[in-house]
Amino acid sequence: MTVTIGRRELLAALGGVAVGLPLAARAQQQPALPVVGFLHDGSFAPRTHLVAAFRQGLSESGFVDGRNVIIEYRWADDQFDRLPGMAADLVDHQVGVIATPGSTTAALAAKAATTAIPIVFSVGADPVKLGLVASLNRPGGNVTGVSYFTNELGPKRLGLLLELMPGGADVVLLANPL
């Protein structure tokens, strides 16, 4: 049996396929990129080095912003009362992780906002005393990170400096208590 298709029928069939291809392509959409939430109590301008280091660290782990991961930045611009809302916004956006590098107040706000999304911090104080983790060897919950213990080591460093320079001048320290 031979089937004969006229020119009009062939063009109509090809046109139908051409129209249907974009619909089929949309049906096979690429999976959404993972999203990293970045929360900080300060502002961007004086911390460009922090963002560059953060992006470099992600890149070294194979994650490049815009290519295979999206970073959602939230800067409180030293308005600490904005942090809870910003942390809640990241939770609402269902980010995969919240990073709070160098910001104790942001880490505490993120912890208060979620018990499900992982939170990664870097702080200068003892994270156990701050209430971020249960203990250093078993942090528990969804919060983990790095502490530089600068608050604990600061007095020791000052004592060492005074021993090395016994006739030294007065020392003045300005610090954020958090």
| pLDDT tens sequence across 90-107 | 999 999 999 999 899 999
Calpha distance 67→49 (Å, rounded): 21
* Domains (range + CATH), the chain: 35-152 (3.40.50.2300)
Looking up tokens 């910003």 gives 86
Pairing of β 97-101 and β 35-40: parallel
Calpha distance 118→114 (Å, rounded): 8
pLDDT over 50 (residue 13): no
Helical segments of 6-82, H only: 7-27, 48-60
pTM: 0.71
Q: Which residue from 78, 81, 60 is spatially nearest to 69, judged by alpha carbons?
A: 60
Calpha distance 89→95 (Å, rounded): 10
Q: What is the mean pLDDT of residues 100-115?
A: 95
Enclosing H/E stretch for 111: helix 104-113
Confidence of residue 171 (pLDDT cuts 50, 70, 90): confident
In DSSP terms, 100 is beta-bridged to: 121
Write down the number of H helices and E strands in the chain.
6, 5
What backbone torsions phi and psi does residue 167 show, to the nearest 5 degrees?
Answer: -100, 25
Calpha distance 88→110 (Å, rounded): 8
User: What's the residue count for the chain?
Assistant: 178
